[in-house]
Amino acid sequence: MAVLSLAALVPAAAARSPDPVWQGAERLALRCSLAPLPGADRLALETALCRRAAALAARGAPLPVAALAPGDPALLADGTVALLVQAAVQPADTLVPGAAGRVLLLVLRPWRRGAPPPALFGPPPRAVALPAAAAAPLDAATLAGPGGPAAHALDALLAEALPWRRPPPATRPPATRPPATDPPLREPRE
Protein backbone atom coordinates (compact mmCIF):
# COMPACT_ATOMS: atom_id res chain seq x y z
CA MET A 1 0.00 0.00 0.00
CA ALA A 2 1.42 3.37 -1.03
CA VAL A 3 1.42 6.12 1.56
CA LEU A 4 1.35 9.72 0.45
CA SER A 5 2.82 12.05 3.02
CA LEU A 6 1.33 15.40 3.85
CA ALA A 7 4.67 17.01 3.07
CA ALA A 8 4.43 15.76 -0.51
CA LEU A 9 1.07 17.48 -0.98
CA VAL A 10 1.88 20.87 0.49
CA PRO A 11 4.60 21.84 -2.01
CA ALA A 12 2.20 21.13 -4.88
CA ALA A 13 -0.38 23.46 -3.37
CA ALA A 14 2.22 26.09 -2.54
CA ALA A 15 3.75 25.81 -5.99
CA ARG A 16 0.50 27.12 -7.47
CA SER A 17 0.82 30.25 -5.37
CA PRO A 18 3.46 32.88 -6.00
CA ASP A 19 2.68 34.20 -2.51
CA PRO A 20 5.58 33.27 -0.17
CA VAL A 21 3.21 33.08 2.81
CA TRP A 22 2.26 29.56 1.62
CA GLN A 23 5.80 28.25 1.06
CA GLY A 24 6.47 25.45 3.57
CA ALA A 25 3.07 25.83 5.25
CA GLU A 26 2.29 23.00 7.67
CA ARG A 27 -1.14 24.00 8.96
CA LEU A 28 -3.92 26.51 8.35
CA ALA A 29 -5.51 28.37 11.24
CA LEU A 30 -8.56 30.58 10.89
CA ARG A 31 -9.25 33.48 13.19
CA CYS A 32 -12.44 35.48 12.78
CA SER A 33 -13.43 38.87 14.05
CA LEU A 34 -16.91 40.35 13.95
CA ALA A 35 -17.39 44.06 14.53
CA PRO A 36 -19.55 44.79 17.58
CA LEU A 37 -23.22 44.18 16.89
CA PRO A 38 -25.88 45.50 19.29
CA GLY A 39 -28.05 42.79 20.80
CA ALA A 40 -25.91 39.89 19.55
CA ASP A 41 -23.56 37.44 21.24
CA ARG A 42 -20.44 38.50 19.36
CA LEU A 43 -18.24 35.62 20.54
CA ALA A 44 -20.85 33.01 19.57
CA LEU A 45 -21.23 34.60 16.13
CA GLU A 46 -17.45 34.77 15.60
CA THR A 47 -17.11 31.13 16.65
CA ALA A 48 -19.88 30.02 14.28
CA LEU A 49 -18.43 32.04 11.41
CA CYS A 50 -14.95 30.63 12.02
CA ARG A 51 -16.19 27.05 12.22
CA ARG A 52 -18.05 27.46 8.93
CA ALA A 53 -14.97 29.02 7.28
CA ALA A 54 -12.72 26.22 8.61
CA ALA A 55 -15.09 23.51 7.34
CA LEU A 56 -15.12 25.13 3.89
CA ALA A 57 -11.32 25.62 3.88
CA ALA A 58 -10.75 21.98 4.85
CA ARG A 59 -12.35 20.68 1.65
CA GLY A 60 -9.44 19.29 -0.34
CA ALA A 61 -6.88 20.81 2.02
CA PRO A 62 -3.43 19.18 1.94
CA LEU A 63 -2.75 20.35 5.49
CA PRO A 64 -4.63 20.42 8.80
CA VAL A 65 -7.20 23.22 9.18
CA ALA A 66 -8.48 24.58 12.50
CA ALA A 67 -10.61 27.47 13.72
CA LEU A 68 -8.85 29.26 16.58
CA ALA A 69 -10.28 30.99 19.62
CA PRO A 70 -9.15 34.51 20.52
CA GLY A 71 -5.66 34.48 22.03
CA ASP A 72 -4.78 30.95 20.88
CA PRO A 73 -0.96 30.79 20.66
CA ALA A 74 -1.22 28.33 17.73
CA LEU A 75 -1.76 31.40 15.54
CA LEU A 76 1.94 32.24 15.99
CA ALA A 77 3.34 28.72 15.63
CA ASP A 78 6.03 28.07 13.04
CA GLY A 79 4.59 26.73 9.79
CA THR A 80 1.13 28.13 10.48
CA VAL A 81 -0.64 30.24 7.89
CA ALA A 82 -3.44 32.23 9.47
CA LEU A 83 -6.48 33.26 7.51
CA LEU A 84 -7.98 36.29 9.16
CA VAL A 85 -11.68 36.66 8.43
CA GLN A 86 -13.05 40.07 9.28
CA ALA A 87 -16.81 40.57 9.29
CA ALA A 88 -19.18 43.43 9.98
CA VAL A 89 -22.93 43.87 9.78
CA GLN A 90 -23.95 47.25 8.39
CA PRO A 91 -27.19 48.89 7.31
CA ALA A 92 -27.54 48.32 3.55
CA ASP A 93 -27.92 52.05 2.92
CA THR A 94 -24.29 52.58 3.98
CA LEU A 95 -23.38 50.84 0.71
CA VAL A 96 -26.31 51.78 -1.49
CA PRO A 97 -28.19 54.97 -0.57
CA GLY A 98 -31.85 54.22 -0.02
CA ALA A 99 -31.37 50.43 0.24
CA ALA A 100 -33.25 48.63 3.00
CA GLY A 101 -32.07 45.88 5.35
CA ARG A 102 -28.62 44.85 6.47
CA VAL A 103 -25.54 43.45 4.79
CA LEU A 104 -22.72 41.28 6.05
CA LEU A 105 -19.32 42.52 4.87
CA LEU A 106 -16.54 39.92 4.69
CA VAL A 107 -12.81 40.35 4.13
CA LEU A 108 -10.23 37.55 4.21
CA ARG A 109 -6.45 38.00 4.47
CA PRO A 110 -3.67 35.43 4.84
CA TRP A 111 -0.92 36.13 7.36
CA ARG A 112 2.12 34.24 8.62
CA ARG A 113 4.59 35.17 11.32
CA GLY A 114 8.01 35.87 9.87
CA ALA A 115 6.90 35.58 6.25
CA PRO A 116 7.42 38.40 3.81
CA PRO A 117 4.33 40.54 3.41
CA PRO A 118 1.68 38.81 1.32
CA ALA A 119 0.52 40.17 -1.99
CA LEU A 120 -0.79 43.70 -1.70
CA PHE A 121 -4.30 42.67 -2.59
CA GLY A 122 -6.21 39.59 -1.57
CA PRO A 123 -9.64 38.44 -2.60
CA PRO A 124 -12.06 41.34 -2.97
CA PRO A 125 -14.41 41.93 -0.03
CA ARG A 126 -17.88 40.44 -0.23
CA ALA A 127 -21.19 42.00 0.77
CA VAL A 128 -24.03 39.60 1.53
CA ALA A 129 -27.68 40.58 2.04
CA LEU A 130 -29.00 39.41 5.40
CA PRO A 131 -32.58 38.43 6.14
CA ALA A 132 -34.89 41.42 6.02
CA ALA A 133 -35.71 41.72 9.72
CA ALA A 134 -33.45 44.71 10.35
CA ALA A 135 -34.19 44.91 14.06
CA ALA A 136 -34.02 41.15 14.73
CA PRO A 137 -30.86 39.97 16.48
CA LEU A 138 -28.55 37.92 14.32
CA ASP A 139 -28.02 34.33 15.43
CA ALA A 140 -25.29 31.82 14.58
CA ALA A 141 -27.52 29.64 12.39
CA THR A 142 -28.67 32.60 10.32
CA LEU A 143 -25.15 33.96 9.96
CA ALA A 144 -23.06 30.86 9.44
CA GLY A 145 -25.35 27.89 8.87
CA PRO A 146 -24.64 25.70 5.82
CA GLY A 147 -27.34 27.53 3.87
CA GLY A 148 -26.77 30.83 5.62
CA PRO A 149 -25.87 34.06 3.88
CA ALA A 150 -22.17 33.82 4.73
CA ALA A 151 -21.53 30.27 3.47
CA HIS A 152 -21.49 31.08 -0.25
CA ALA A 153 -19.49 34.29 0.21
CA LEU A 154 -16.95 32.55 2.46
CA ASP A 155 -16.60 29.73 -0.05
CA ALA A 156 -15.93 32.24 -2.85
CA LEU A 157 -13.33 34.09 -0.75
CA LEU A 158 -11.58 30.84 0.16
CA ALA A 159 -11.55 29.69 -3.47
CA GLU A 160 -9.53 32.80 -4.30
CA ALA A 161 -7.27 32.75 -1.24
CA LEU A 162 -6.28 29.08 -0.88
CA PRO A 163 -3.76 27.68 -3.36
CA TRP A 164 -5.39 24.22 -3.41
CA ARG A 165 -8.78 25.73 -4.25
CA ARG A 166 -7.52 27.78 -7.21
CA PRO A 167 -7.62 26.22 -10.63
CA PRO A 168 -4.18 25.45 -12.02
CA PRO A 169 -2.84 28.15 -14.30
CA ALA A 170 -3.92 27.73 -17.87
CA THR A 171 -1.23 26.45 -20.15
CA ARG A 172 -0.76 28.03 -23.49
CA PRO A 173 -0.21 25.89 -26.53
CA PRO A 174 3.32 26.18 -27.88
CA ALA A 175 3.82 29.04 -30.26
CA THR A 176 4.01 27.87 -33.83
CA ARG A 177 5.17 29.70 -36.87
CA PRO A 178 2.64 30.22 -39.60
CA PRO A 179 3.27 28.08 -42.65
CA ALA A 180 5.67 29.63 -45.13
CA THR A 181 3.97 31.27 -48.05
CA ASP A 182 5.24 32.65 -51.26
CA PRO A 183 5.83 36.37 -51.21
CA PRO A 184 3.02 38.38 -52.74
CA LEU A 185 3.37 39.19 -56.41
CA ARG A 186 4.17 42.75 -57.28
CA GLU A 187 2.32 44.56 -59.92
CA PRO A 188 4.61 45.56 -62.78
CA ARG A 189 5.49 49.23 -62.92
CA GLU A 190 4.56 51.19 -65.99
Of 168, 170, 169, 165, residue with least CA distance to 63: 165
Residue 9, in any domain of the structure: no
Percent of the chain predicted with pLDDT > 90: 33
Counted domains in the chain = 1
146 found inside a domain: yes
In sequence order, which residues have a C-beta less than 8 Å from that of residue 27 and are 6 or more positions away? 63, 64, 65, 66, 74, 77, 79, 80, 81
- How many whole angstroms separate alpha carbon 175 and alpha carbon 153? 39
Q: Taking 70 as the threshold, does the pLDDT of residue 1 lie above it?
A: no
Average pLDDT, the chain: 79
Could you list the residue range(s) of the whole structural domain that residue 26 is in?
A: 18-164
Cβ atoms 43, 140 nearer than 8 A: no
* CA Rg value for the chain: 23
Q: Is residue 182 part of a domain?
A: no
The answer to whether position 144 is within a domain reads yes
Residue 179: count of CB within 10 angstroms of its CB: 5
Nearest to 22 by CA among 14, 10, 11, 31: 14
Q: Would you say residue 171 lies in a domain?
A: no
pLDDT tens column, 51-84: 999 999 999 999 999 999 888 999 899 999 999 9
Mapped onto helix, strand or coil, the DSSP state of residue 30 is strand
- Helix (H, G, I), strand (E, B), or coil: what is residue 165? helix
- Residue 8 domain flag: no
pLDDT single digits (tens) 91-118: 888 888 888 888 899 999 888 888 776 6
Q: Is residue 37 part of a domain?
A: yes
Judge whether residue 7 has pLDDT over 50.
Answer: no
190 occurs within a structural domain: no
